[in-house]
């Protein structure tokens, strides 16, 4: 037996000593992803309140901060309050078209500097400039492409006007979403991503899918937990009630 095979065999023996909390198996890929995704949306149209309650519970268990507002007009006020409480002066955001609203004017009236990414400006100079702005900002504002209830996870796809540095570099990440982004299970996430992948008009142009479950955490060999080493120290989710 080679050293590699012996090493892997030893891992299998050790893992077998402790059964998992639940059985894991590979989910089949949907034969018709668009139809499968539509079924998920139809089911969630009725069950979204329960999915939202589960998301809030799991999100807060991993130290996320949950906010709920009636409509998009109330979102800048929540962001401004978060900024004031943390002494923040500069924010970066996705392109307003990707966010679904433009928080810049309202936040500027509160004395905040807002730098938005712009779709179609993905040349190297623009990418470097946005990364520098994100590293200098205290708060990054994004949307959420999917919101996974069972683990309190925000799922973000990178792409034009939605650079991943917006959510990764500032100390505080704020994600804004509505009920249409909610899913209940990881299996449903797979279905929705398959539907995006096979539809060239809806497929994202970016290379990354980020699963964000609470603030960044890391620990040394003595298990001393530290936040914010590899990402934001705080993660806020703003749920907008109006579809």
Stretch 135-151: mean pLDDT: 97
Residue with tokens 């929540």: 78
- Per-residue model confidence (pLDDT) at position 182: 98
As a whole number, mean pLDDT of residues 5-30 equals 77
Q: Which residue has the higher pLDDT, 194 or 1?
A: 194
Percent composition of the chain: helix, strand, coil (DSSP 3-state, to 5): 40, 20, 35
Compute the C-alpha angle 38/40/44, nearest 5°: 115
pTM of the model: 0.85
Q: Hey, how many other C-beta atoms are within 10 angstroms of the C-beta on 182?
A: 24
Q: Which residues neighbour 102 within 8 Å (Cβ) at sequence distance 6 or greater? A: 96, 116
In this prediction, residue 9 carries a pLDDT of 86
User: Using one digit for the tens of pLDDT, what is the confidence trace for 192-242?
Assistant: 999 888 766 665 556 689 999 999 877 666 667 677 667 799 999 999 999
Name which of 62-66, 75-79, 223-227, 237-241 the model is least confident about: 223-227
Q: For residue 22, what pLDDT is reported?
A: 60
Round to whole Å and give the CA distance between 91 and 231: 16
81 pLDDT exceeds 80? Answer: yes
pLDDT (mean) for 115-142: 91
141 or 12: which leads in pLDDT: 141
Min mean pLDDT across 26-30, 42-46, 192-196, 222-226 is at: 222-226
- What confidence score (pLDDT) does residue 219 get? 67
Q: What is the mean pLDDT of residues 26-50?
A: 91
Helix 33-61 and helix 186-198, axial crossing angle in degrees, nearest 10:
140
Domains of the chain, first to last: 69-240 (3.40.50)
Residue 26 has what DSSP assignment?
A: P
Higher pLDDT, 18 or 135: 135
143 or 122, which is more confident: 143
């Amino acid at each position: 037996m080679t050293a590699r095979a012996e090493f892997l065999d030893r891992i299998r023996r050790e893992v077998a000593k402790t059964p998992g909390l639940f059985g894991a198996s590979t989910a089949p890929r949907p034969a018709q992803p668009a139809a499968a995704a539509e079924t998920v949306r139809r089911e969630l149209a009725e069950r979204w309140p329960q999915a939202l309650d589960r998301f809030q519970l799991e999100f807060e268990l991993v130290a996320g901060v949950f906010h709920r507002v009636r409509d998009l007009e109330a979102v800048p006020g929540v962001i401004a309050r978060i900024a004031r409480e943390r002494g923040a002066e500069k924010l970066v955001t996705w392109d307003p078209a990707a966010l679904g609203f433009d928080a810049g004017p309202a936040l500027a009236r509160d004395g905040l500097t807002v730098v938005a990414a712009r779709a179609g400006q993905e040349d190297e100079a623009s990418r470097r400039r946005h990364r520098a702005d994100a590293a200098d900002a205290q708060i990054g504002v994004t949307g959420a492409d999917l919101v996974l209830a069972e683990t309190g996870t925000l799922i973000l796809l990178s792409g034009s006007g939605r650079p991943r540095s917006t959510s990764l570099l500032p100390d505080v990440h704020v994600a804004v979403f509505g009920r249409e982004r909610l899913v209940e299970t990881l299996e449903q996430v797979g279905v929705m991503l398959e539907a995006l992948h096979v539809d060239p008009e809806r497929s994202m142009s970016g290379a990354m899918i980020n699963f964000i479950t609470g603030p960044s955490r890391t620990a040394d060999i003595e298990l001393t937990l530290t936040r914010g080493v590899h990402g934001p120290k705080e993660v806020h989710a703003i749920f907008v009630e109006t579809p």
